[in-house]
Amino acid sequence: MNSWIVYSHRRRSAGLRLFSFAHAGGGAAAFRGWNDRLGNEIELGYIQLPGRESRLRERPFFSIAELIPHLVDALGAQMDRPFAFYGHSLGARIAFEAARELRRRGAPGPVHLFVAACQAPQLPWPHPLMNGLEAPQFLREVQERYGGIPQQVVEDEELCGLTLPFLRADVTMIETYVYTPGLPLDCGISAFGGLQDHTVAQPSLEQWQAQTRGEFHLQMMPGDHFFPQLAEARLPESISAELLDIVRTHKHAEHDRPWRGM
């Protein structure tokens, strides 16, 4: 059993697999309801990092650089068909670095990278650091900057105690991230942003174009930092339509070349 990847609904005949990476403090539950919205041709695998949900008792990672080799090792056996990455906020940065690590290993990479609510990795971190703040102030700062912490967690001391360690670890990962310059990815990149997101502005999303040799698309949607949770944003549907179109194009261009998994 691979504890890193959760499948709520297996589609073993699907020709595509989408690996999803949650925001800071999030887990597989962040993508509840996405399966049906993506359609039958895509199998959805949720990346479950240590320290949350089904892996709550495991030590979380505090560094993206430390995390990536373990994550890519775990992905290896799941790459038996074309796949793509989707990441939200911190998850976008992790997905990007996972794609780069696959390239370093000479392994097949994603056919496309979808990123949301995350500034381009080469840009300096624009916010005051908060990973070292005392618990009450830390939670206040996270809530004021991003929102997204359920009120029952804030008000329940036990729930707060369970959430705080991996949320702080995730915030530390994003705040201590160091970008290493490298060649752009071969796969295309699609970036999504919330029109009311005051933490990730459109110009910082536009800079993702520098990280791809392929096509780049940017789409702004209604909502704040957690705009994918809004039904009217229709993010899973947008990803599904774009991904299926990409793969059909690749099939026409490379119909004689079988998929080479890891």
Q: Which residues carry out catalysis?
A: 89
Contact 143, 154 (CB under 8 A): yes
Rounded distance between C-alpha atoms, residue 185 and residue 187, angstroms: 5
Rounded distance between C-alpha atoms, residue 202 and residue 239, angstroms: 19
Contact 89, 118 (CB under 8 A): yes
Strand partners of residue 86: 20, 114
Q: What is the DSSP string of 156-190?
A: -HHHHHHHHHHHHHHHHHHHS------PPBSSEEE
